[in-house]
Copies of this chain bind each other. A is one copy, B any other.
Amino acid sequence: MSFNTFGLLFRVTTFGESYQQLSVRVGEWYASLRRTFLDKRRPGQSRFTSQRREPDSVRILSGVLEDEASGREVTTGAPIALVIENVDQRSKDYSEIRDLYRPGHADITYDLKYGLRDHRGGGRASARETASRVAAGAIARKIVPGLSVRGALVQMGSHRIERARWDWNEVDRNPFFCPDAKQAEFFADYLDGVRKQGSSVGAVIEVVAEGVPAGLGAPVYGKLDADLAAALMGINAVKGVEIGDGFLAAELSGEENADEIRMGNDGRPRFLSNHAGGILGGISTGQPIVARFAVKPTSSILTPRRTVDRYGRETEIVTKGRHDPCVGIRAVPIGEAMVACVIADHYLRHRGQVGEPPPWPFPAR
């Protein structure tokens, strides 16, 4: 399996599978990052997310050094290696269904590709892998000066939030990362019902990156939006990605879709709207980058589904285990992290290719 890395200059490589045990020690330097970001992804924080306990403590193996002059920890230029512990390892959970395929789950494609799969959990497809992404995103955020990347759940099942009620402060006040306080109350009841039925439901997540310099990306195959699409579609269970108005853009006229431009007070172009989601022709405009992605409902449900086993026998399956009724909730910090990683990578690429950006506006002739 060769494809465990993403990024060109900001490169992230992950390894590990579900249910690997590591003994770790948390360094102070990274601990502050952990509290901010990894905790968001962590299951078991409310009755709405998986009851597995994954403290996600992190140990730095290389790449960081205490600077003696300042007492601060600094990066050395060497690769920053992080190991994330999994202390709550109960690999027997899946033993009953180990030879069966869960409809909607990747265990069948593993068998068809590799001829085996790791019955101790989801293998590489396990949601555990995403903790590494969140950690990588925490580092990425430090690379681009002034970058802010925030995510929010904007739809659960068929229930959307009311955008007029959007309040970023609400995101941390409810277990759904929902910016609409009123809808979050509804989600609590709604998801309780889903959970009690042993069912599951999907969600839509929106990520907004502010402070992205204009000029990141490239016009043809290193497009910023193409890389964001890959990064977000590459999150477990994601089935759709939008930039800016996304699929709604297909319904707009050219007049509606045009983000008109005036001069801003800072002497830079100021867009009067952001249908483009901050990207035109694969290159950032300087506006906030807005991306959305759809997360399907988990395949681990209590209702029996028809399936076959690895030996070609037809049967039915029920997944008991400990599972999230809405895995989309935990995808919020993962989406943030992927966006941060892509922007950091393009920030470095742009610096390499172009160096100092050209001064704008150009001198009139």
Contact = CB atoms under 8 A, between A and B. Distances in A.
A71 interface: no
B233 A353 contact: no
Interface in A29-71: 61-63, 65, 67, 69
A164 interface: no
B79 A15 contact: yes
A77 B116 contact: yes
A287 to B, nearest CB: 11
A278 to B, nearest CB: 10
Contacts of A349: 2, 9, 352
Contact of A222 (B2, B117, B243, B277): B2
Contact of A257 (B1, B80, B299): B299
Contact of A13 (B13, B22, B78, B308): B13
A247 B252 contact: no
A230 B240 contact: no
A322 interface: no
A211 interface: no
B2 A305 contact: no
**Copies of this chain:** 4
B306 A261 contact: yes
- Which of A248, A281, A283 lies at the interface centre, i.e. has the most chain B CB atoms within 10 A of its CB? A281
A269 B108 contact: yes
Contact of A294 (B114, B125, B250): B250
A149 interface: no
Contacts of A230: 226-227, 229-230, 233
B76 A118 contact: yes
A191 B20 CA distance: 46
Contacts of A226: 229-231, 233-234
